Amino acid sequence: MQHQGIREKYGKYRVIFDSSTQTSPDEIVLNQVTPTDNEAIIDFGTAKTKLHINIYNWRVSFPDEVIYLALADITACFRFPRLSADVAGAFGFLAEGFYFASTSHVFGSNTSASSWEAFRRAIQNLITILSQRCDLIAKHKELLDALRWIKEYATHNRPALVRAFPCEINRGVLDSNGNVIPMTANIYVDDILAAAALRGNMVRLLAAIIEAIFLVCGTPDVAVRQCPLSLEKWSELEVGPRQIILGLVVDTNAMTVGITDEYIE
- Residuewise pLDDT in 10s, the chain (265 residues): 556 777 787 677 777 778 888 888 898 888 988 888 888 889 999 999 999 999 999 999 999 999 999 999 999 899 899 988 888 888 887 778 888 888 888 888 899 999 999 999 999 999 999 999 999 999 999 999 999 998 765 555 667 899 999 999 999 999 999 999 999 999 999 999 999 999 999 999 999 999 999 999 999 998 888 899 999 999 999 999 999 999 999 999 999 999 998 889 9
Q: Cα-flanking dihedrals φ and ψ of residue 261, to 5°?
A: -60, -40
DSSP per position, 105-167? --TT-TTHHHHHHHHHHHHHHHHHHHTT-SHHHHHTHHHHHT-EEPPPPPGGGPPP-------
Compute the Cα dihedral for 86, 90, 95, 96 and give only its sign.
positive
Q: Give domain status of residue 92, yes or no.
A: no
Q: Give domain status of residue 99, yes or no.
A: no
CB atoms within 10 A of CB 202: 23
Domains identified in the chain, total number: 1
Q: Give domain status of residue 102, yes or no.
A: no
Q: How much is the pTM?
A: 0.90
Res 133: pLDDT:
95
Residue range of the domain that includes 56 = 37-80+112-264
Q: Give domain status of residue 105, yes or no.
A: no
Q: Give domain status of residue 203, yes or no.
A: yes
**CB proximity list for 90: less than 8 A, separation 6 or greater:** 30
Res 153: pLDDT:
57
Q: Cα-flanking dihedrals φ and ψ of residue 82, to 5°?
A: -90, 155
Res 212: pLDDT:
98
Do 174 and 181 contact (CB within 8 A), yes or no? yes
Res 101: pLDDT:
83
